[in-house]
Structure 1
Amino acid sequence: MRMRKGVVPALALVVVAVAATGCFSSEGGDEQRLTGLRENYCLKLGAWQKARNAAGTITPESSAHEKAGLAAQEASLAMQPLRDESVSGGRTLGEETGWAINDGDSEAEARVVQYCDDAGFETLTR
């Protein structure tokens, strides 16, 4: 996957911003902030699903594959503050997201979509 020159610095800024906010646990945290983090994650997950689906219908050389890769990175970054959230069967959101995005695990993808549904953001995912 090719990356444009401006993508790496922008991604670095996102990583710094995520690191600056620190880890967030749902236990005893600010419920409004948690809701915002969940909404952002589900929005980014849905954007990745849409980009991935579009890339699957186009030649490998197209920019759609680059967009899908960038969307995957954004979804992974959005997941970071929520990575320890429980999804199902003792698994975490971090584990399930990784399996869905990196390994193409459709069952893991279904579980993170269910997570978004349970959080009230079912319309943001596919």
Structure 2
Amino acid sequence: MLRELPEGGGKHSRFSGSNAVRKLRTAVPFLALFVVVGCSSSEGKDEELLTELQKSYCLQLGVWQTARDAGRTAVPESPEAEEAELAADGVLLAMRPLRDETVRGGQTLEEETVLAISNGDGNAEGHVVQYCGDVGFETLTR
């Protein structure tokens, strides 16, 4: 379930203030459109749509990485921790139309994304970052 961030995030957060909240609120409905329109595999998708979906996923992955890093020292229920949770929701939502894409090691993008976000699996995170590099969006991730 997606959560709304309180206005004015933490003082050390790169996502603090209403600007970040506005960006996240804008990104989530945009991603929801792709979830409704997208299908479970990239086969047969228009190449332009596939590229936009991949870009959106990699962008959301980078946002999550930054928010997660900022929230590592945050206490639970802090604005930084909530930002990281919201960013994780954004990655999972962006991943849905691409979930059957194969990443390094033969796993699906869905499997690796869930391992990276839910379990803090550094190897899985490396695989999804490599996926972004392979599709041309390495600069959107950390």
TM-score bracket for this pair, using the shorter chain length: 0.7 to 0.9
CA 1:49–1:32: 2 relative to 1, 3 Å: same
Letter in 2 for 1:124: L
Give the structure 2 partner of residue 48 of structure 1: 64
Q: CA deviation at 1:90?
A: 1.8
Aligned residues: 122
CA 1:97–1:26: 2 relative to 1, 3 Å: same
**Structure 1 range deviating more: 94-103 or 23-32:** 23-32
Percent of paired sites with the same residue: 54
Give the structure 2 partner of residue 109 of structure 1: 125
Partner Cα distance (2:63, 2:4) in 1: 19
Give the structure 1 partner of residue 136 of structure 2: 120
Q: CA deviation at 1:23?
A: 1.2
Residue 74 in structure 1 maps to residue 74 in structure 2: no
**Structure 1 range deviating more: 93-102 or 61-70:** 61-70
The TM-score, its normalising length taken from structure 2, stands at 0.75
Segments of 5+ residues of structure 1 without an aligned counterpart are: none
Runs of at least 4 residues off by over 4 Å: 3-6, 12-16
Q: CA deviation at 1:89?
A: 2.1
Segments of 5+ residues of structure 2 without an aligned counterpart are: 7-24
Partner Cα distance (1:26, 1:61) in 2: 37
Q: What secondary structure, in the 3-state scheme, does the structure 2 residue paired with 1:60 have?
A: coil
Give the structure 2 partner of residue 37 of structure 1: 53
CA 1:122–1:19: 2 relative to 1, 3 Å: closer
Partner Cα distance (2:64, 2:36) in 1: 24
Give the structure 1 partner of residue 33 of structure 2: 17
The TM-score, its normalising length taken from structure 1, stands at 0.84
